[in-house]
Chains A and B, each alone.
Chain A
Amino acid sequence: MDILNKNLILFCSILDFGKGSKLLKLSNELGGKASTIFLGKGTVKNELLNILGIIETRKEIFITLIDEELEDTFYDRITTRFGLDKPHHGIAFSMTVNSLQFNNVKFKSNLGRKDVNNVKHEAIFVIVNKGSMDDVLEAAELAGSTGGTIIHGRGSNPDEKETLFNIHIEPEKEIILILSEIEKTEAIVNSIKEKLNIEEPNTGIIFVMDVSKAVGLYQGKK
């Protein structure tokens, strides 16, 4: 139970489909806890491929909990193993965890993490109804984002009581994760807000979380 006395961070990495299992193995070796992999799609930034109609590619999203002390080792090993320092090889980022229920022991983290003030990146989460994904990405791009990851999900919608053969159906949702530099976050969020009229009910939600560290972000060519 030594885990209780340390600060925990949530380490996330987005890689090409098929690399998730390798990362899981590496993470277990390094001491990651409660690792989970799920599937998503990444945007493709290549004009020729876009003309051909290839606009997205399959990705695996990996999350795990690690001790704060392990953070640097994690980044080092994973960056070299998967070549995250080169463009288009995937990204990794981490966020602080505030509370955790693990092995029936409740854990409260120290909220005053030392480097929490010098964050350079933020993670923007946008959850919208299925089909709005293109609008979100377009708006984000206009405001300077370099791409995003799309996760498929289902959600509730208390106002819309849609039933199918008397079975209550949960509307399909798209979760868009955009990692942005802290200076650009506001512009991106506002751009998405305007495009989608997100203030109206039932259009979607946006929230932003602090990222303590990030590697592999594609810097554009400008």
Chain B
Amino acid sequence: MSILLKQLKDVSLSVFPITLLVVILSFSLVPIESVMLIRFLIGAVFVIIGLGIFLFGAHLGIEPIGHLMGETVAKTNKVYLVGILGFILGFLITIAEPDLQILANQVNLASGGIIPSTLILIVVSIGVGLMIGIGLLRILFEKPLNKLFTLIYFIIFFLGLKVSQEFLAISVDASGATTGAMTTPFILALGYGVSQLKGGKTSEEDSFGLVGLASTGPIFAIMIMSIIKGLSNIQGDVEAFVPNTGILSPYLHIFPHIGKESIFTLLPLFCLFLIFDYFKFKLNKKNKNTILKGLLYTYIGLTLFLVGVNAGFMEVGRIMGEGIATFYPWLLPIIGFLLGMVVVLAEPAVYVLTEQIEEVTAGHIQKKVILTALSIGIAFAVSMSMLRIMMPSLRLWHFLLPGFGIAAFLSYKVPPIFVGIAYDSGGVASGPMTATFVLAFAQGAANAIPTANVLIDGFGIIAMVAMTPLVAIQILGLLFNLKSKKEGH
């Protein structure tokens, strides 16, 4: 049983910092009702248990499926088949993502109903599918990742000149929304499976980068769509904020809804596994059962996690943001910084990524190091977003353009494996925890500051969270490089 206890301990330690921060704030700067605080603490328990079960499930179920599919796809030995299969896999897992559906509705509203949400779903899924296809072929043909990313972001920059401010924010946000808790571990394992099968000199560094590529798909898709449709201004309003009542009622209310959503998230993966297993993997009963159990755990874990975040964390985030912005506006960037530091530790996909990094590099690049770099990166992201909310003259691209510019420059200076890890971290860090808690915090703050616009300033935060890890992890790579040169290896 010591294995279970150890896992529980690890997970508790990763959720503890954010819980502590909120509790401290609630007793010092922003007093909140005791009912809400209790609800938050219950939420934290849900998040801990959910995260623990989810990670076990991801390890037993999603990762092996991704790994096996990667191998199977690569073994077809035909360029067009790898491309097509990559496309189909990417398309199917994206279209079922609940986060994407929420985003599609938002874009639909923001465009004043001109773009139907089903169209958005399909176009974004095609975008992700294409990128995964390209990403898999890149691994097989050993094309360097830094050049590919430079090219892609150059095109995005060019497209970005043509779209309005608001759609720039929405499209860059979309990249974070599509790489959810379920798809990210799968795509990570897919890339790892292909590069492991291929072997060779670059197999280590090629194990990363696929998530980063996949998350550029939606940016293209939405930008191109808004250019074709000639959209400029965004309309509509954010969903009205309804405060919860009671301690348990929000949980009971939200449970069936999230339970259903999680089924849809898992369904394509489950079906794909059964189909592939029947025709290709032909696993023995024991292994097949393990994977199916893993999928079940993933489902239970993800549901508990999301219920905890949505029912317990979101509201507190909003109240905190509002309270601090009203009474201590100058503290916003500092609190944002602290919040960013701790929130990323509770992000599920981050653990899947760090574990894969440890496995690929045989423990050379340790989890702690990656987590520290990510934590600092996200801290800056949230802090800068707060500045943007406070000062209307600061625009999103004032941060994004230099950020992506520096990231592209660094990608020629650091060891290749860090390029892949950095771009993957961007997709990994912008998971469900950030998307709900930090977003709610920012919306609360924007609500309380008269010069800010909740709708416009709300978008773009995920983009920041997806951008700063690129810089932070690559700087880490630079430091690694310097250190190992000093030691004379």
**Chain A contact residues, CB within 8 Å of chain B:** 17, 20-21, 37-39, 44, 46, 48-49, 52-55, 57, 60, 88, 134, 154, 163-165, 167, 169-170, 172
Contacts and interface: CB of A to CB of B under 8 A. Distances in A.
Given A60-B363, A134-B284, A165-B141, A55 B198 contact: no
A53 B293 contact: yes
Contact of B290 (A46, A53, A169): A53
Contacts of B362: 37-39
A194 B137 CA distance: 41
A53 B294 contact: yes
A138 to B, nearest CB: 9
A134 B196 CA distance: 20
B271 interface: no
14 contacts: A39-B358, A49-B1, A53-B60, A53-B293, A53-B294, A57-B3, A88-B2, A164-B74, A164-B75, A164-B77, A164-B140, A164-B198, A165-B79, A167-B200
Nearest to A163: B77
B199 A54 contact: no
A52 B293 contact: yes
Contacts of B290: 53, 55
A151 B297 CA distance: 26
Given A164-B74, A164-B198, A169-B199, A48 B1 contact: yes
Nearest to A51: B293
A37 B363 contact: yes
A45 B77 CA distance: 39
A38 B75 CA distance: 28
B56 A54 contact: yes
Nearest to A48: B1
Interface residues of B, number: 29
B397 to A, nearest CB: 40
Contact of A46 (B1, B196, B358): B1
Interface string B69-102: 0000011010100000000000000000000000
A154 B1 CA distance: 33
B292 to A, nearest CB: 9
A206 to B, nearest CB: 22
Nearest to A166: B77
Contact of B197 (A48, A53, A172): A172
A154 B4 contact: no
Contacts of B3: 44, 49, 54, 57
Contacts of A38: 362
A44 B6 CA distance: 14
A172 B196 contact: yes
A134 B286 contact: yes
Contacts of A163: 77
A39 B140 contact: no
B333 to A, nearest CB: 35
Contacts of A21: 363
Given A38-B362, A163-B77, 4 more contacts: A39-B362, A49-B3, A134-B286, A169-B199
- 8 closest A-B pairs by beta carbon, nearest first, are A53-B293, A53-B290, A170-B199, A53-B60, A165-B140, A39-B362, A38-B362, A154-B199
Interface in B187-207: 196-200
B451 interface: no
B359 interface: yes
B289 interface: yes
Contacts of B196: 172
A12 to B, nearest CB: 16
A49 B56 CA distance: 12
A60 B200 CA distance: 24
B481 interface: no
Contacts of B363: 17, 20-21, 37, 39, 60
Contacts of B140: 164-165
Interface in B1-43: 1-4
Interface string B292-306: 011001000000000
A17 B359 CA distance: 11
Given A44-B3, A172-B197, A165 B77 contact: yes
B78 to A, nearest CB: 9
Nearest to B355: A58
B287 interface: yes
Nearest to B6: A16
A169 to B, nearest CB: 6
A48 B1 CA distance: 8
B80 to A, nearest CB: 12
Interface in B243-301: 284, 286-287, 289-290, 293-294, 297
A165 B363 CA distance: 30
A86 to B, nearest CB: 11
